Amino acid sequence: MSTNLKLRPVYYASVSGGDDSFYMLNVILNNPDKYPLDMVVHFDLEIDWGWSKRVIDFMEERCLKAGLRFVRIKPTKTWAELYEKYGFPTAHAKWCNLEYKLDCKKQLEAWIRSQNCRPVAYIGLCADEAQRFKYTIGETEDQDQIYPLAEEGICEAEVNMWARNQPIFEGYYRHFDRQGCKLCPFLSMKEMAYLKKNEPETFEYMFNCIKETEDMILKKKGKVWKYRGVGADVIKKRVETKWTSILNMEENQLHIFDFIDEV
């Protein structure tokens, strides 16, 4: 029997704690007729940056005060459990996305579908991220994803410029224009220096994990795998000697401009 029944959409704003999703939530809340919203959802990862966890706490508090449902979802398995199984994620074994982060999305969407509804996610993609779009902007009907920032023609630079001066982001966007996870195989050298400066224990932990993974691959597979081609020790040293100074220098320059701004 064929059916033309349409499932009721459940609209959720997916927020990471970063600038794009924060800005997007503002756009959604200011355009309720265009962007209906049932709940705000955060995929709660142990490897979120400390500052972004504080942004999420703030958002949750504000949403709840406004009577808006705020849902946090944790991955089924912890990062440490998956690390025990696979080692530190690499470009070839990126379990951190599929088995960890996207596990939260699977749980959420299964829950929405179990109520005979269909999930529609608001995602914080900007107008200049067209290569990541899954639909043609303007054609939001029946989509399972909608990009309010792109729909409004808002570009990354605009969001980034705004974020640089928002105290809630604790200065992160003065140094970086993207936000991933803090235990990420793709961290830049400057991001590693930022991790060392702001969360030194996590920095040590990350390099211990990477070193252990190098040893594990050699033992289990008989293959030599060196982090970024040169090994954990070399990269760690470069961060400690060169990149920490670069980050500090950048910070001092930013402070000079802060001073000039204030004069």
Alpha carbons 133 and 43: distance in angstroms, whole number: 21
Region class of 143: left (phi > 0), else alpha (psi between -120 and 50), else beta: beta
Site map for ligand SF4, 36-75, x if CB under 6 A? ----------------------------------------
Residue number, 28 or 206, with CB nearest to ligand SF4: 206
Candidates 101, 174, 197, 238: give the one binding ligand SF4 (CB under 6 A).
Answer: 101
Stretch that binds ligand SF4, among 30-38, 94-102, 159-167, 211-219 (CB under 6 A): 94-102
Helices (H) and strands (E) in the chain — how many of each? 12, 5
Cβ-count burial 65-75 (b if 16+ within 10 Å, e if not): eeebebbebeb
**At its nearest, how many Å lie between ligand SF4 and the CB of residue 57?**
20
Read off the DSSP letter of residue 6.
Answer: P
- Which residue lies nearer to ligand SF4 by CB, 74 or 118? 74
Site string for ligand SF4, 144-183 (x = CB under 6 A): ------------------------------------xx--
Residue 186 within binding range of ligand SF4, rule CB under 6 A: yes
Q: How far is the CB of 89 from ligand SF4 (least distance, A)?
A: 6
CA distances to 83, 170, 190 from 19, rounded to whole Å, are 28, 12, 19
- Give whichever of 182 and 196 is closer to ligand SF4, judged by the CB atom: 182
CB burial class (10 A; 0-12, 13-18, 19+) of residue 141? Answer: exposed
105 binds ligand SF4 (CB under 6 A): no
Indicate whether 97 belongs to the interface with ligand SF4 (CB under 6 A).
yes
Q: Report d(CA 24, CA 158) in Å as an integer.
A: 12
Q: C-beta of 99: minimal distance to ligand SF4 in Å? A: 10
The vertex-126 CA angle with 250 and 74, nearest 5°, equals: 85
Contacting positions for ligand SF4 (CB under 6 A): 89, 94, 96-97, 101, 180-181, 184, 186
